[in-house]
Structure 1
């Protein structure tokens, strides 16, 4: 009988929400000079995504983890390890054109779910950055989407 893999620890939802607010506040207080970083070998980066609210039509911004795959920025629609899809992903599905802010400046992007052909490569890249990724994904009752943000003119 195979040993059962222990699920990784997930912080309580209240902790996630507070951590996100602190991170966004830190970004705002520093005028965007702090709070974003480029990926490094074995480590993901942080970027700011601004979508258009699917119901409000207003800009909505979040800070997310990413890595670069050629000219594309790749992130996960995971809702902080909780069930359900994050609002930013629902907004991006309704209006795929968005802007991102990386440490080295803004970019205009078009967002989409990774294709079946891209998934094995992109999942492997995420696993290199987070050894517990499969455990986190298994704990979610919602599918985890890999989101590709492609540059647009």
Structure 2
């Protein structure tokens, strides 16, 4: 537990926010490729997916490693009663507390049908931006799940986008 607290403290620093976006995704992509989708380095602390989406402007395929908050299955031990009754995850557009929204969030707004690689399985999903009370409830759960997201939100004026992705 002490190790997790240390990582949470480090991940809340501005230095981490400058370096991590360049290092962590590159490492995750390489390890994911080498292990044929069975392993993500960053998932040793937080659950993670590789999001395969369509570029908002380019229309080209994009693959982005992301931390996620599972809502169903063994990760949480509970069912949330999502509209599809299947697995769902919350994706957090924190961008490590940097000013702009991450590009993958624009991709999902333009093209909500995507695929996630989850524990070695490619799963077709549909993404939906959370708003209002639904977002408020999800944000509360996200902060309980990984408290550094509060630091990221405090650093920026934009509202961090939250998406629920649900198995199609």
* TM-score (norm. length: structure 1): 0.81
Residues 14, 149 of structure 1: alpha-carbon distance in 2 compared, 3 angstrom cutoff: same
| Cross-structure match for 2:64 | 62
Report the CA distance between 1:131 and its aligned residue: 2.2
Report the CA distance between 1:61 and its aligned residue: 0.7
Residues 36, 151 of structure 1: alpha-carbon distance in 2 compared, 3 angstrom cutoff: farther
Give ranges in structure 2 of 5+ residues lacking alignment.
1-11, 72-79, 81-86
Tell me the C-alpha RMSD between the 2 structures: 2.2
| Cross-structure match for 2:91 | 75
| Cross-structure match for 2:126 | 110
Q: Distance in 1 between matches of 2:135 and 2:113?
A: 22
Residues 60, 13 of structure 1: alpha-carbon distance in 2 compared, 3 angstrom cutoff: same
Q: Distance in 1 between matches of 2:96 and 2:53?
A: 18
Q: Distance in 2 between matches of 1:36 and 1:106?
A: 18
> Structure 1: which 4+ aligned runs deviate by more than 3 Å?
36-39
Give ranges in structure 1 of 5+ residues lacking alignment.
1-7
- The number of residues matched between the two structures is 142
1:30 matched to 2:49? The reply is no
* TM-score (norm. length: structure 2): 0.74
Moved more, 27-36 or 106-115: 27-36
